[in-house]
Structure 1
Amino acid sequence: MFSFRRGDGDNSGSLRAVRALYRSFTGQNRPEVRARRLLREWLSPAQREQFDAEGYFDVIGCDTCRRYRIHWGSVSNVVELDEKMIPKIGWCFVPEQCLVAGDVMLAQKIALETNEGAALALANRFSPRPLSQPRVVRRAY
């Protein structure tokens, strides 16, 4: 087969090349990387541009034509926006299986664009904190 010996000057470059190829292959095939790649393939060009620039993308619900913003993450990452693009209601819904963030976001996108009513019927509501206002923590002394 292959004969790689430590310190053999003829094969040391080959061994480094094989190790680099292995690291590259395993890095590109981690679940997080594959999920992000699949998500980007399913996004429209406008959504992909928004996602690459901001880390989130907007979708339009199929039933109500409401605008939802899906942020990077897998829990409490969907926010319904009002007419002024201000967060109105937060929605938390995830697949039953434990998935990486990119796969969860893709499932949320498909659910809102194809069966909005059913997705929201299962979702938990939460009050979104505006991103521009940091949370204030007060300490009692």
Structure 2
Amino acid sequence: MARGSREWCLRPSIREQRGLKLLREWLSQEQLAQYDAHRYFEVIGCHTGKRYRICHGNGANIIELDDAALPRRGWCFVPRDPLVAGDVMLAQKIALETDERGALAVANNFAAR
């Protein structure tokens, strides 16, 4: 394999780059700082006021936090179509901030790690 083609495989795809760019445009300054430092950001559920950590990924990447910011439970809900991680995380952010109950009604939950 030529060196140039190996480098191409390691670079994020155009779709991944666009997804992360759009996500970054929608994050608050605080969320953007969290994401840049840790590859996650936190959102507040619109109905319960619970805090959720959305980790970089496109499935099983949402952690509900307790009052001490410790993992309480994990949640998994994703769009029906396969999307890049940035697009999935943006959809999760919008869902929790605007229709938390609806999002959790279709989500699977699991023991947080």
**TM-score (structure 2 length as normaliser):** 0.88
Within-5 A mapping of 1:9-48: 30-48=14-32
Paired residue total: 104
**TM-score (structure 1 length as normaliser):** 0.71
Q: Tell me what 1:69 maps to.
A: 53
Matched letter for residue 23 of structure 2: L
Task: Give the percent of matched residue pairs that are identical in Structure 1 and Structure 2.
Answer: 58
* SS of aligned partner of 1:91: strand
**What CA distance in whole angstroms lies between the structure 2 residues aligned with 1:49 and 1:75?**
22
Higher relative contact order (CA 8 A, sep 6+): 2
Moved over 4 A (4+): none
Instruction: Report the structure, 1 or 2, having the larger strand content.
Output: 2
Structure 1 alignment gaps of length 5 or more: 1-22, 130-141
The answer to whether the 8 A contact 1:79-1:87 is kept is yes
CA shift in 2, pair 1:29/1:116, >3 Å: same
Q: Tell me what 2:5 maps to.
A: none
Structure 2 alignment gaps of length 5 or more: 1-7
**What CA distance in whole angstroms lies between the structure 2 residues aligned with 1:28 and 1:54?**
19
Matched letter for residue 71 of structure 2: P
Q: Tell me what 1:86 maps to.
A: 70
